[in-house]
Amino acid sequence: MDNLDRLKALLRRQKLDALLVTQPDNRRYLSGYTAGDMNIGESSGVILVFRRGAPLLLTDFRYQLQAEREAAGFEVRLYQRGLFPLLKGILVERGVKSLGFESHYFLHQAAVKLQKLATEIRLELVPVTDLVERLRICKSPDELKKIRAAVRLNEAVFQEVYQQLQPGQSERQVALRIETLMREKGAERPSFETIVAAGPNGALPHAVPGERLIRESEPIVIDMGLVLDGYCSDMTRTVVLGRMDDLTRDRFRLVRKAQLAGMAAVKAGATGREVDRAARQVIAAAGYGPAFGHSLGHGVGLAVHEPPSLSMRYHRKLQAGMVVTVEPGIYLPEWGGIRLENMVVVTESDCEVLNEDVTFLDV
Amino acid sequence: MDNLDRLKALLRRQKLDALLVTQPDNRRYLSGYTAGDMNIGESSGVILVFRRGAPLLLTDFRYQLQAEREAAGFEVRLYQRGLFPLLKGILVERGVKSLGFESHYFLHQAAVKLQKLATEIRLELVPVTDLVERLRICKSPDELKKIRAAVRLNEAVFQEVYQQLQPGQSERQVALRIETLMREKGAERPSFETIVAAGPNGALPHAVPGERLIRESEPIVIDMGLVLDGYCSDMTRTVVLGRMDDLTRDRFRLVRKAQLAGMAAVKAGATGREVDRAARQVIAAAGYGPAFGHSLGHGVGLAVHEPPSLSMRYHRKLQAGMVVTVEPGIYLPEWGGIRLENMVVVTESDCEVLNEDVTFLDV
């Protein structure tokens, strides 16, 4: 059963006549249409999936040819004066009485307009969240193949840059080299802005690479991901050039121990919270609890951050076929940070680690 | 009067006690905090500006140090369990009775939560659009300086790539070269995904650079922009390698004629619609009306697309100090496309063209 048929089955269960899909990854998952949104206010189109009958892709002039080429089985219709006038006609024509829309990717401003339209044509509007995400959460063999390829390419890029890493290079230069190599080697783009954070800058989990020159003996956090054939990778290594002092080594070992504990806790049936706790308590027991201020991991697929989450707030159970990161870290203002991140596939009994690269994992 | 004071004056006029600013460019404009959002669902923080008293920046652990460094005059507070619990306490503590929020950058899902919170504490919620954008729409001398610098750098990158352009290079290679050079020369990043569309691919106004090798005698659309010191550039040139046939030359001249007509119509007091029409009627008169399916231009500043708009639907008047693109184009399936784009500053009497590059403007 293809993705569209699975969604239709879900619509029947939810008693929805149609779903308006605005989230770009969901749109791609269902239709094959690869255009992204420049931002949520500048959509490159929406799709309408009906419980019965052929789905539609609504877009504007700029994306017409791409939509027609890519979205097999979808009829492409163009709007000239915005989405809503076109949408109204279609909903009436197709006799839609209840329409789901993606509350987690729909602006308040647009929802006000949609509500007005719904009142005019006596349509029941149903905000949904994570409906298509629920289909996406477990990866098919074909998706896993693409994710594996993205991870392999990620590691090849990392290795090439790591081999050439020298004191005196700036964070910015290194990040630029990584992103250029990604594309030269065939990636569509980075899956997020590459982080290269040397020394004290590593204390910012989301540091922006700057003019700081990297030095010997300091931890250098390199967090990088790419998109290949639509699917994302995400990997962090922390490396040290030259001699590593004992304190740094101890901290590396602590973060690695937490990562191993986290990975050991991953299996179908474990909750995100349980896995997070398995890693977190290792760090807390060593007295570094407050230095690990983010969650342990997140799902990866068409989006680099997607459900499930490995965090204290995620009480649902993992299922086989989910792909998640396991990325504990400690961040100490003035000193710096260490983060180690792998991607794993959840299996019935445990997990399969997708990364083969072991740079500075066991120091 | 600084940006924050101008906003406070606006809040007084609108009788709002406070404004919750979620839009990243608005956040930066008011606070100096440069972090972007990974996407609208993954915010790197919000700011709260009060009619009276010191403003706040609310963010999470990952951005704490950056926020404290950058947002001078803002008190930084961290949320651990999401924004809303923290927000609720602050609104009560500060005695806020009416709160504006940015309807055009606020998810429906989040608005439902905000409404619930508002009901609990008897808060009046007021959706606003374009309140901070209204402050941003006319550029200060300092902003114009930054925009000029971005345009200069954009042209330097374009020239270097153009000089080395050869038949046999792929669209993807050329786009990658452009984006790498941008960063090597000091840009923060591209302001949008660079478009290099050769031959028939040029018929897609938003083409994604692919494996197609560029050839002699075909129009190659190169649409590129960068971000320098927070401010964007946006420029399109269409170039031909080798001999240009007469039909192609005629079409270049037509698009240029439309561009000149558009630029000639720009001045304080003209509406966006009037300027769009000035260019559009040139193309329509030559019989190419349907081939020009997008609007003539858009504002540029911290965002690469921002108000005002030069389009049939924009009835407001331009003001001195606005910066807009003027970018007519024609797109013919099978054949390809030609788009020519400059940035201009609106003045009282006409406009100042920011671009100096004249590559293939007058053929």
Using CA atoms, how far apart are residues B238 and A210, in angstroms rounded to an integer?
Answer: 34
Tokens of B264: 């000639």
- pLDDT tens digit string along B5-47? 999 999 999 999 999 999 999 999 999 999 999 889 889 999 9
Closest-CA residue in chain A for B211? Answer: A186
- pLDDT tens digit string along B176-187? 999 999 999 999
Residues A219 and A328: beta-carbon distance below 8 Å: no
Q: Rounded to a whole number, what is the distance in Å from the CA of A105 to chain B's nearest CA?
A: 6
Give the pLDDT band of residue A62 (cuts 50, 70, 90).
Answer: confident
Q: Rounded to a whole number, what is the distance in Å from the CA of B128 to chain A's nearest CA?
A: 9
When pLDDT is averaged across residues B64-73 and rounded to a whole number, the result is 93
- pLDDT tens digit string along B235-260? 999 999 999 999 999 999 999 999 99
Average pLDDT of chain B, as a whole number: 96
* Strand (E) or helix (H) holding B69: helix B64-70
Give the pLDDT band of residue A362 (cuts 50, 70, 90).
Answer: very high
Whether residue B204 and residue A313 make contact (CB cut-off 8 A), yes or no, is no
Closest-CA residue in chain A for B62? Answer: A205
- pLDDT tens digit string along B113-125? 999 999 999 999 9
Closest Cβ opposite residue B66 in set A104, A204, A294: A204
Q: How many CB atoms lie within 10 A of CB B64?
A: 21
Measured on CA atoms in the order B138, B143, B148, B154, is the torsion positive or negative? Answer: negative
Beta strands B124-128 and B98-102, pairing class: parallel
DSSP secondary structure letter of residue A212: P
Whether residue A305 and residue B205 make contact (CB cut-off 8 A), yes or no, is no
Per-residue pLDDT at B1: 66
- pLDDT tens digit string along A306-328? 999 999 999 999 999 999 999 99
Per-residue pLDDT at B206: 78
CATH of A141-353, one of 3.40.50.11540, 1.25.40.10, 1.10.150.170, 3.90.230.10: 3.90.230.10
Looking at beta carbons, which residues of chain B come within 8 Å of A101?
A: 108
* Strand (E) or helix (H) holding A48: strand A46-50
For residue A107, the SS3 value is strand
- pLDDT tens digit string along A68-100? 999 999 999 999 888 999 999 999 999 999 999
Looking at beta carbons, which residues of chain B come within 8 Å of A66?
A: 204, 206-208
Residue extents of the structural domains in chain B: 3-136, 141-353
Using CA atoms, how far apart are residues A299 and A237, in angstroms rounded to an integer?
Answer: 18
Whether A141-353 and A3-136 are alike in CATH topology: the answer is no
**Is the domain covering B3-136 a CATH 3.40.350.10 domain?**
yes
Indicate whether A351 pLDDT > 70: yes
Closest Cβ opposite residue B176 in set A112, A183, A207: A183
Give ipTM to 2 decimals. Answer: 0.88
Per-residue pLDDT at B226: 98
Site of tokens 């369990």: B81
Tokens of B173: 């290679």
In this prediction the pTM is 0.90
Beta bridge partners of B239: B220
For chain B, percent of residues with pLDDT exceeding 90: 93
When pLDDT is averaged across residues A44-56 and rounded to a whole number, the result is 96
Indicate whether A110 pLDDT > 80: yes
- pLDDT tens digit string along A210-261? 889 999 999 999 999 999 999 999 999 999 999 999 999 999 999 999 999 9
- pLDDT tens digit string along A127-184? 999 899 999 999 999 999 999 999 999 999 999 999 999 999 999 999 999 999 999 9
DSSP secondary structure letter of residue A293: -
Tokens of A220: 């250098």
Tokens of B251: 């079409």
Burial class (CB in 10 A: 0-12, 13-18, 19+), A238: buried
Looking at beta carbons, which residues of chain B come within 8 Å of A39?
A: 40
Looking at beta carbons, which residues of chain A come within 8 Å of B42?
A: 305
Largest CA distance in chain B: 72
Cα angle, residue A349 at apex, residues A345 and A355 outer, rounded to 5°: 30
Give the pLDDT band of residue B62 (cuts 50, 70, 90).
Answer: confident
Pick the more confident residue, A39 or A361.
Answer: A361
When pLDDT is averaged across residues A281-293 and rounded to a whole number, the result is 96
CA-wise closest residue to B118 among B149, B135, B141, B96: B96
Measured on CA atoms in the order A252, A257, A258, A263, is the torsion positive or negative? Answer: positive
Looking at beta carbons, which residues of chain B come within 8 Å of A35?
A: 206, 208
Residues B242 and B218: beta-carbon distance below 8 Å: no
Burial class (CB in 10 A: 0-12, 13-18, 19+), A163: exposed
* Strand (E) or helix (H) holding A281: helix A272-285
Indicate whether A360 pLDDT > 80: yes
Residues A327 and A263: beta-carbon distance below 8 Å: no
Closest-CA residue in chain B for A128? Answer: B109
- pLDDT tens digit string along B191-238? 999 999 999 999 987 778 888 999 999 999 999 999 999 999 999 999
The torsion angles phi and psi of B63, rounded to 5 degrees, stand at -110, 5
For chain A, percent of residues with pLDDT exceeding 90: 93
Looking at beta carbons, which residues of chain A come within 8 Å of B203?
A: 65
Beta strands (DSSP E) in A119-184 are: 124-128
Note the Cα B216 to chain centre separation in Å.
33
Give the pLDDT band of residue B81 (cuts 50, 70, 90).
Answer: confident
